[in-house]
Structure 1
Amino acid sequence: MNAHDTTLEIIPLGGLGEFGMNCMVLRYGADIIVIDAGLMFSEVGHFGVDSMTPDFTFLERHREQVRAVLLTHSHEDHIGSLPFLLKKVNVPVYGTPYTLSIVEPRLEEHHLLATTQLHPVRAGETVEVGAFSVEYIRVSHSTVDCCALAITTPIGTVVHSGDFKFDATPVCGDAIDVERLRAVGRRGVLALLSDSTNIERPGQMPSERVVIPALEEIFDRATGRIFVSCFASSIHRIQIVFDLARQFGRQVVAVGRAMERNIEIAERTGFLDTADLLVSAKDFKHYEPGETVVLASGCQGEPMGAMWRIADRSHRQAWMEAGDTVVLSARQIPGNEKAISRLINRCYRNEVQVIDATQARIHVSGHGAQEDLRLMLEAVRPKYFIPIHGEYRQLYRHKLFACQTLGYSPDRVLLVESGDVVVLDGETARLGDKITINRVYIDDTCSLELDETLLRDRKRLAYEGVVIAGVAVEESSGMLLGPPEITTRGYLGVDGDEEEIAELRDVVLAAVEALPPAERINGGKEHFQEHLRLALKRHIMRVTGQKPTIVPLVVVV
């Protein structure tokens, strides 16, 4: 009997040792399920890369075994790479109604909606997928319709927490179903996979309602327009803004495609009550400053985001003026500090008041702090615990927390990263052979995957520049028809320097003369071009130590 027939494998393809690209694979026998398929936004130095997805090679290799993708909630780091996965492995997708409503337009953009089977699942329902029985359990988070998954297998139950906090009084939807988590725990849980994002924060994460007093005070003081910029997925926050708009007699204007779309979906699926306060952005100009509150996407200072264009006065329908108030009701994602600072500076140029989370309690995290994580562990009471969703330090500290605070034996807490394979047989857990995974880079302008070599070439062009050497030779004789042409771009100390260009021209000329005329023609153009490239490379490396991209061009006339 094959070992896969009697063991459960848990294989993270992303999201462990990094923030984003959350994707977890479970395999039992000939059946594979995938939990979430997220992306990670690009980092500094990723030239022309907008986002990154997990490496789905493992799933492609075992595509006949993949039964379904199960989504925990609608954030980009959990659903963003779904279209790229479905292009490789077309399987049914399960998720809550709101989550699937957010997924649908993304699939349509990739021409996948008509060929993808979407199965809505409500909290409390169970789906059967191959050897797995998966129950959706309501949890609280910063967006709505979020669930943990209780996955029953022939050798035991695995609980995947998704993103969560213990919010007993959410603004929208139902509270986390603690009693159901405890019932699953009493039945016996082989392993818990739990979010580690906020393990470094003590105490319990407050309810989404904690931001209401500060926002209410802002609405009470404001005389001009109020601009609230938050994540378009923050439906709880958006509902609070609508409630305050009603209380203070303002109309709500939504600006930004993501904001408009998410408000429409949340209202349609029953998670948002706009109370007929929503007006079109094209009617913005018809209202007095004290009559509106604008909900704008682009809270991270994105150059093409709605908030930036409003502050920059380049938005066609909305603008800000002296006396208005700007509220940045979101956390600063690491790496976005400079962009947000530029946005704030741009807002101040309009003589407005800017309020962010450093000045008032207008944001609260959707991820549980230490007390929330303790409550999850105590409710589920797993035999084995696997920290997920976080950089290595969060995973490590989550393990220490479980061992030092809750008395878990270190051998019962498995510290793993993306690509590791956890093998469970119902009694024991061990690490199997690691699989090789790489980041896959995406250019969002064309929704294409970028080759690692292409990215490396872009980096070299950015840091070292390019040298283009062109020569023309006569087809019949192989003789040069003129002096070599040298063009440089971004090559330090050479661009525009005639002496340096002349020196490079001499190097090319010497390399041409080193080849007999017959060999220039009969040896093939590729051979001739490589000969010129190597000559330039050696000279430049010897003289400057630089490694520009060298492009030799041979024209045979």
Structure 2
Amino acid sequence: MSHPHPELTEPGPIPDGGVRVVALGGLGEIGRNMTVFEHAGKLLIVDCGLLFPEENHPGVDLILPDFSYIEDRMDDVVAIVLTHGHEDHIGAVPFLLRLRQDIPIVGSTLTLALIEAKLKEHRIKPFTLAVIEGDVEQLGPFECEFIAVNHSIPDALAVLIRTTGGTILHTGDFKLDQVPLDDRITDLRAFARAGEQGVDLFLVDSTNADIPGFTMAERALSPAIERVFQQARRRIIVACFSSHIHRVQQVLDAAESSGRKVAMVGRSMIRNMGIATELGYLHVPDGVLVDLGKLTQLPDDEQVLISTGSQGEPMAALSRMANRDHKIEVGQDDTVLLASSLIPGNENAVYRVINGLTRLGANVVHKGNATVHVGGHASAGELLYVYNIVQPGNVMPVHGEWRHLVANGDLAVQTGVPRERVILAEDGVVVDLVDGVARIAGAIDCGYVYVDGSSVGGTTETLLKDRRILRDEGFVTIIVVRDTASGKIAAGPEIQTRGFAEDEAIFAQVLPRLEQALEEARQNGANDTHQLQQVIRRTVGSFLGGKLRRRPMVIPIVIDA
């Protein structure tokens, strides 16, 4: 648990007729998107996503939003609205539904199909409501109108939330691709109509707000991908997100035109593309897609593999290939195409994979050396257009790190939004919309919730700190046997180390100091095992810090005999 702003107090009750907005994830970070809207005693949740762990989260599988703010009010939740099917927007839904399984889930056909497949693995059968752009649904006191937006996954939606306390427009993740692969453009006419009726609070995707100009169209990538296929001499391995249907479509089309066959690797990739094909969002050319066993029997220059692992995830297929820990062996003159952008925080992991593949002789093509990916988020030029079209009363940048939020807020100010009407908030900051004015009303405890194996929430920052120490510094164990009758040390201290680079002979210098400290503790009446362990920990820890400038974990063991 963490409090985002110590200077802010717990918020009071919502003013009469007001709307309260609390982000439990997605502000100040890329991922874990979840926003709670409260009005007339009811709660509406928009998105409920995951954050993937970084190097400073050893042993952690997933990071969830902190549900403690709403866990005592689950009966007040009228629905979960999902803007699109990416993991950072839907991945935490199974964990939220553990608190109440019958919450209606509202989203587009593809989004619901992806979450239903995920929930099936958790043995949860959800209550779902499919919507399309233009639909209006009354969800408790919230009237929600759904608006088409394009993103790097089909069927994305913005949501216009009308209440008696004000109107809120949440873009979800979006961009303004004017020639999208699925011919489904962001509906700026609907944005304009909302603006004419009055948008009191505008929640706007910030991910590319600090990038000037306009995000490149998806169609512009097709020639670049085709060139990679034409120039490849042997096998081609494409790594992308398991939900990036547009990119997989381009790869399938390039494979058909170059006379290659395609197999998919990775459970999530196979599952998601199967769903997309069944629903008509992915069009597989006849005879192009084969299973992996059949593909490997073909000549190398006829093979294409589409796999997960574009972010350097340790257990994903591409990382295992780079480490020679996969049945697919990357070899000399293979071409590896990383068809995804780097999520902030994943850079080191991705470059380790690139280095590993290059060492094996592969030609690695990525965004840094070729135009093989475009982002799924509106850049600064597009955001300026949207602000001028909507002309909101208040703006709250969402979905981004702090630099993205600030850049987005500055864009709003450039289009005439008063700076005091731009709300820069982080996770846990409470924003109230009252009489057309949005203000910060306080803050709640809102921290990371770690999924560690089967444990949800059991892993704490203290435990992670211990893991980091063990990983980076190793540990030192000191074993002492004490005579229970006299209280004197009968054997030891014996010192053992693991993961500690120093010569163990260095500990000969601390032994006399440790024996003296234990004897002084005995003479001062310290006869409790815990007290003696603390003496050992302080003495050895102080020595190692002062002498070696190292901070390994010190594990004292006192045995009574």
Question: What TM-score results when the alignment is normalised by the length of structure 2?
Answer: 0.89
Q: 1:115-154, aligned counterparts within 5 Å?
A: 116-154=126-164
Shift, 1:147, TM fit: 0.6
Contact 1:172/1:239 (8 A) holds in 2: no
Secondary structure, in 3 states, of the residue corresponding to 1:77? helix
Q: Which amino acid aligns with 1:35?
A: V
Q: Tell me the amino acid that sits aligned with residue 67 of structure 2.
A: F
Q: 2: CA distance between counterparts of 1:463 and 1:359?
A: 33
Q: Does 1:385 align with 2:389?
A: no
Amino acid at match of 2:478: A
The offset of 1:143, in angstroms, is: 1.1
**In the alignment, which residue of structure 2 is the partner of 1:194?**
204
> Which deviates the most, 131-140 or 418-427?
418-427
SS in 1 for 2:429: coil
Once the 2 structures are TM-superposed, how far is the Cα of residue 129 of structure 1 from its aligned partner? 1.9
3-state DSSP of counterpart to 1:482: strand
Q: Which moved further from structure 2: 412-421 or 24-33?
A: 412-421
The reply on whether 1:457 has 2:466 as its aligned counterpart is: yes
More moved, 260-269 vs 355-364 = 355-364
8 Å CA contact 2:262, 2:295 repeated in 1: no
Higher RCO (C-alpha under 8 Å, 6+ residues apart): 2
Tell me, in whole angstroms, the C-alpha distance in 2 between the residues paired with 1:379 and 1:494.
Answer: 68
**Equivalent residue of 1:41, what SS?**
coil
Q: Deviations over 1:327-354 (max 9, x none)?
A: 2222223333333333333333444433
Structure 1 residue 553 and structure 2 residue 550: aligned? no
Cα pair 2:210 2:403 within 8 Å, conserved: no
1:302 maps to amino acid: E
> Does the 8 Å contact 1:4/1:30 carry over to 2?
no
Asked if 1 retains the 8 angstrom alpha-carbon contact of 2:212 and 2:381, the reply is yes
C-alpha distance after superposition, 1:16-49 (max 9, x if no partner): 2222221111111211111112222223333323
**The one of 265, 269, 274 aligned to 1:264:** 274
Query: Which blocks of at least 5 consecutive residues in structure 2 are unaligned?
Result: 1-11
Task: Tell which deviates more after alignment, 545-554 or 56-65.
Answer: 545-554
Question: Are 2:429 and 1:425 equivalent residues in the alignment?
Answer: no
Q: Quick check: 1:466 aligned with 2:470?
A: no
Aligned AA for 1:396?
Answer: V
For residues 360 and 63 of structure 1, do their structure 2 counterparts lie closer, same or farther at Cα, with a shift above 3 Å needed? same
The answer on whether the counterparts of 1:384 and 1:413 sit within 8 Å (CA) in structure 2 is yes
> 2:381 pairs with 360, 364, 371, which one?
371
Q: Which moved more, 1:526-535 or 1:202-211?
A: 526-535
Matched to 1:16, the amino acid is L
Q: Are 1:220 and 2:235 matched, yes or no?
A: no
Please give the per-residue CA displacement for 1:74-93, whole angstroms capped at 9, x wherever unaligned.
Answer: 21221222233333454332
The answer to whether 1:233 aligns with 2:237 is no
Indicate if the aligned counterparts of 2:37 and 2:45 stay in contact, CA closer than 8 A. Answer: yes
1:165 partner letter: K
Where 1:94 maps in the other structure, the secondary structure is strand
Residue of structure 1 in register with 2:119 after alignment = 107
User: Partners in 2 of 1:541 and 1:354 — Cα distance?
Assistant: 44
Q: Secondary structure at the match of 1:62?
A: helix
Asked if 1:177 is matched to 2:187, the reply is: yes
Distance 1:534 1:323 in 2: 56
Contact 1:488-1:494 at 8 Å conserved across structures:
no
Quickly say closer, same or farther: Cα 1:538–1:293, change in 2 above 3 A.
Answer: closer
Residue 25 of structure 1, aligned match among 36, 50, 53:
36
- Identity rate of aligned residues, in percent? 36
**Partners of 2:267 and 2:183 in 1: CA distance:** 24
Residue 275 to residue 488, structure 1, CA distance change in 2 (3 Å): same
* 1:302 matches 2:313: yes
**Matching residue of 2:3:** none
Q: For residues 459-505 of structure 1, give each alpha carbon's deviation from its aligned partner in whole angstroms, at most 9, with x where no partner exists.
A: 34345543333333455665554333333334564645451463465
Moved more, 140-149 or 471-480: 471-480
Describe the shift of the 1:310–1:473 C-alpha distance in structure 2 as closer, same or farther (beyond 3 A). Answer: closer
1:36-47 matched pairs, under 5 angstroms: 36-47=47-58
1:105 and 1:556, CA in 2 relative to 1: closer, same or farther beyond 3 A?
farther
Whole-angstrom distance in 1 between the partners of 2:213 and 2:506: 63
Q: Does 1:207 align with 2:217?
A: yes
Partner of 1:435: 444
Note the aligned Cα RMSD (angstroms): 2.8
Identify the match of residue 499 of structure 1 among 492, 497, 508: 508
Aligned AA (1:431): I
- Structure 1: tracts of 5 or more residues without a match: none
* Structure 1 residue identity aligned to 2:433: L
Tell me the residue number matched to 1:12: 23
Task: Provide the rounded CA distance (Å) in 1 between the counterparts of 2:360 and 2:537.
Answer: 54
What is the Cα deviation at residue 53 of structure 1? 2.3
AA partner of residue 340 (structure 1): V
- Comparing 413-422 with 475-484, which one deviates more in the overlay? 475-484
